[in-house]
C-alpha cells in the first residue's frame, strides 16, 4: 500500500517536512502528487485533490495523508494496512467524532474503488462528510487513526492542539494523529 499526499504549492514546505519526517521515522515511501488545476474554494479544492490521488494510484488501496497528519510509530502504515485488510471494508477512517462541529476526518485508507464510489462533483461538503452521510456501511472506523481538530468553544471554533502541551490527548494505540496544524509532533520528536 502507498502513502499518498497531494501537494498544493502553498503547502510545499509542510509536505516536504512531513515526507522527511516519515522517511526518518521508518523509511515509508510517500508518493507526492503535485496539485494540478488547483481551485481556491473549499470543498472543491479538497475534493479535487482526493480525486487526483485516486486517479494517479488507480485500482489500488492507498493511505491519504495531509500535511497535518503525523505518523506516531515506526511501522504505522503496515499496521494500518493489516487492520484494513481484516476489516473487509472499502475505506478505513478514524472513529473520532465531535458532533455537531466535526463529524469525520478524511485521513485514512481509500480502497481500489475510490474513484468510482465517491462522486466527482460533490459541492455541498468535503468528500469525507459525503461518505459519512451516503456510504457509512463501506467505512471501517479505526481507533488507531486519531482525529481531533482541537478544543471547541460554544460556537464551534477549535483552538488547535499544540504539542508537547497537548501530548496527553494522544492515545497509546494511535498510529497517526490528525490534526497537528503546526506540525509540532515532528519538531518535538
| Model confidence band, residue 23 (pLDDT cutoffs 50, 70, 90) | very high
Q: In sequence order, what are the residues at sequence separation of 6 or more whose Cβ sits closer than 8 angstroms to the Cβ of residue 172?
A: none
Into how many domains does the chain fold?
A: 1
The confidence score (pLDDT) of residue 176 equals 98
Highest mean pLDDT among 60-74, 143-157, 175-189: 60-74
**Any idea of the CA torsion for 45, 46, 52, 57, to the nearest 10 degrees?**
170
Average predicted confidence (pLDDT) for the chain: 93
**Rounded CA gap, 189 and 167, in Å?**
11
Tens digits of residue pLDDT in 106-158 = 999 999 999 999 988 888 889 999 999 999 999 999 999 999 999 888 888 88
Residue 123 is part of a domain; what is its CATH number? 3.90.550
pLDDT for 38 beyond 70 = no
CB 173 within 8 A of CB 95: no
165 contacts: CB under 8 Å, gap ≥ 6: none
Pairing of strands 69-71, 176-178: antiparallel
Q: Could you tell me the residue range of the domain that residue 39 belongs to?
A: 2-188
pLDDT band at residue 172, thresholds of 50, 70 and 90?
Answer: very high
**The model's pTM:** 0.94
pLDDT tier, 19 (very low <50, low <70, confident <90, very high otherwise):
very high
Note the pLDDT of residue 189: 65
Whether residue 183 contacts residue 17, with contact meaning beta carbons closer than 8 Å, is answered with yes
Amino acid at each position: 500500500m502507498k502513502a499518498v499526499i497531494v501537494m498544493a504549492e502553498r503547502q510545499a514546505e509542510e509536505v516536504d517536512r512531513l515526507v522527511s519526517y516519515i522517511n526518518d521515522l521508518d523509511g515509508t515511501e510517500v508518493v507526492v502528487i503535485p496539485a494540478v488545476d488547483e481551485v481556491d474554494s473549499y470543498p472543491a479544492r479538497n475534493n479535487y485533490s482526493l480525486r487526483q490521488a485516486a486517479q494517479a494510484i488507480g485500482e489500488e488501496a492507498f493511505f491519504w495523508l495531509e500535511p497535518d497528519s503525523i505518523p506516531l510509530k515506526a511501522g504505522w502504515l503496515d499496521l494500518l494496512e493489516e487492520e484494513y485488510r481484516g476489516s473487509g471494508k472499502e475505506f478505513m477512517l478514524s472513529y473520532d467524532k465531535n458532533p455537531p462541529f466535526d463529524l469525520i476526518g478524511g485521513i485514512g485508507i481509500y480502497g481500489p474503488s475510490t474513484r468510482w464510489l465517491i462522486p466527482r462533483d460533490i459541492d455541498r461538503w468535503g468528500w469525507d462528510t459525503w461518505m459519512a452521510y451516503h456510504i457509512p456501511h463501506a467505512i471501517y472506523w479505526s481507533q488507531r487513526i486519531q482525529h481531533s481538530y482541537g478544543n471547541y468553544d460554544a460556537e464551534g471554533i477549535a483552538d488547535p492542539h499544540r504539542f508537547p502541551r497537548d501530548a496527553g490527548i494522544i492515545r497509546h494505540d494511535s498510529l497517526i494523529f490528525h490534526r497537528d496544524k503546526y506540525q509540532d509532533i515532528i519538531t518535538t520528536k
